[in-house]
Amino acid sequence: MRHTIDKLISNPDSLELVLDNLKEGVIAHDLNRRIFFFNREAERITGYDRSMVLGRDCHETFGAPLCGGECAFTAEKPQFDPHREYRTRIITKNGTARMVEMSVTLMHEETGAPFGVLASFRDITDLFQLSLGSNHVTRFGDIIGHDINMINIFKQIEDLSDYDFPVHIYGETGTGKELIANAVHNKSHRAGGPFVPINCGALPEGLIESELFGHVKGAFTGAIRDKKGRFELADNGTVFLDEVAELSKYMQVKLLRFLQEGTIEKVGGESTKTVDVRIISATNRDLGEEVRKNDFREDLYYRLNVIPIRIPPLKDRKTDIPLLVDHFLEEARLRHNQPSLRISRDALSLMLDYPWPGNIRQLQNAIQYGIVKCSGDLILPENLPLELRQFEGLECRSASGPKLNVQNVASALETSGGNKSKAARLLGVGRATLYRFLEKPAGSVMN
């Protein structure tokens, strides 16, 4: 058997025959991104004939998102992982978006030096659509979640894929508005174009017009050359206007004119230029309320709020917390090359009871804090930030409703079929409170 395998590997024609009959697409390129292998299934999935890609730079051939954020070669100095697996979208030659599952391995010479990358991928578009339809999705691009509120957002993004309408995202700080905007972009026909995020609240008032629309040399002191604005940089792609409610009335007028005409005029310039971009906006304020207070133009509001997407706060999707915790732990393990950590039941229970005013960003910070404070391989309640531990004590002291005793706890557990989370809701207490009661000696009473 070994002799047969060695013979097969040593014969390039036989090896190519095997790879061409795989049910997975296979692409290989060197460290200069030059493609030297592309099998038949890769042709079928991408729509590109191998004669069109062999010997070419993969980034020039495919572009984003296949050669986008997940690709190590997008950085100036690539950071190579020995092996990576992830899901991403690709844009086929005819412009359609497909979801693929990628497995990327670094290839080495006999000396141990890397010489290229081998990527295998399979088309899971139909499987993903089926999972989405049956609410069995736990991840959508870079978004983690299986709460029904998130599933509905995933479906909404899928529904948007064939359209180019403006989208407005509303959500509290830390809910992941830019991730949602990125997913809308990556699902659209513009996925191969640039995604340009702009934090409207972070740009200085005196420079925001130049940042958005660009300027010509000599337009103002310090304008020593012509400069492209963010809208021009995003041509054929998407502009993400985060915290759009922070724009001044003057800039609101400028933005409205751009949305109406599709043209920009650089600061100090005399000519206009047509730019083709999709607008996705976001804010943590109620934009309709800003209109009623006369702080935001009504005509601009209706231009932006064509397709509204509301992201629920973390306190309204707590079933996603275990998924997010596992994701952040794994992310930290890969980033810092450390052993796997787990979170204790009591620590997770505390997280499930906490209201998370800072949402997912605060949860990520809490996990990072726990990783630093943890001395073993298990994150305990005492390893979590002070505000979570203080909330536990406050919850215990201020719990309202009926006292916890053996009778009402037993009744709640019987009604809930033994599900402690449901039982805690029936009793009007947090899960951590119920767990503490169950661990106390028999006959105890707890407020």
The answer to whether 68 and 159 have CB atoms below 8 angstroms apart is: no
What's the pLDDT score for residue 135? Answer: 61
Residue 75 falls inside a structural domain: yes
Burial degree of 94 (CB within 10 A; 0-12, 13-18, 19+): exposed
- Comparing CA positions, the residue from 170, 181, 163, 166 lying closest to residue 256 is 166
Do 25 and 103 reside in the same domain of the chain? yes
- Please tell me the total count of domains within the chain: 3
Coil vs helix vs strand at 263: strand
Q: Is residue 169 part of a domain?
A: yes
- E strand or H helix that includes residue 382: none
Q: What are phi and psi of 178, to 5 degrees?
A: -70, -35
Listed range (14-23, 107-116, 204-213) with the worst mean pLDDT: 14-23
Whether the Cβ atoms of residue 182 and residue 195 lie closer than 8 Å to each other = yes
Domain end: 287, 310, 333, which one?
310
Co-location of 356 and 243 in the same domain: no
Residues 225 and 247 in one domain: yes
The residue whose two tokens read 């991840």 is: 139
Q: Is 137 contained in some domain? A: no
**CATH number where 429 lies:** 1.10.8.60
Percent of the chain whose pLDDT exceeds 70: 83
Specify whether the backbone of 256 is left (phi greater than 0), alpha (psi in -120 to 50) or beta. alpha
Q: How confident is the model at residue 392 (pLDDT cuts 50, 70, 90)?
A: low
Residue 333 and residue 300 in one domain: no
Summarize pLDDT for 272-305 with one digit per residue, the tens.
Answer: 899 999 999 999 999 999 999 999 999 999 999 9
Q: What is the pTM of this model?
A: 0.68
Does the pLDDT at position 446 exceed 50? no
Structure-token pair, residue 223: 């304008």
- Tell me: do 305 and 171 sit in the same domain: yes
Whether 318 shows a pLDDT value over 60: the answer reads yes
Q: Are 86 and 54 contacting, i.e. CB atoms less than 8 angstroms apart?
A: no
Between 442 and 227, where is the model more confident?
227
Find how far residue 269's CA is from the centre of its chain: 38
Is 215 inside a domain boundary? Answer: yes
What tokens were used for 349? 């229970």
Q: Has residue 398 been placed in a domain? A: yes
**What is the domain extent for residue 46?**
2-123
Q: 3-state DSSP call for residue 302?
A: helix
280 and 372, same domain (yes or no): no
d(CA 18, CA 9): 10
Residues 102 and 214 occupy one common structural domain: no
Helix (H, G, I), strand (E, B) or coil at 45: helix
Q: What is the pLDDT of residue 312?
A: 94
What tens digit of pLDDT does each residue of 350-388 get? Answer: 898 899 999 999 999 999 999 999 988 899 999 999 989
The mean pLDDT of the chain is 83
Verify that 342 and 290 share a domain, yes or no.
Answer: no
User: Are 360 and 174 in contact, with CB atoms under 8 Å apart?
Assistant: yes
Inside any domain, residue 14: yes
Domain presence at residue 143: no
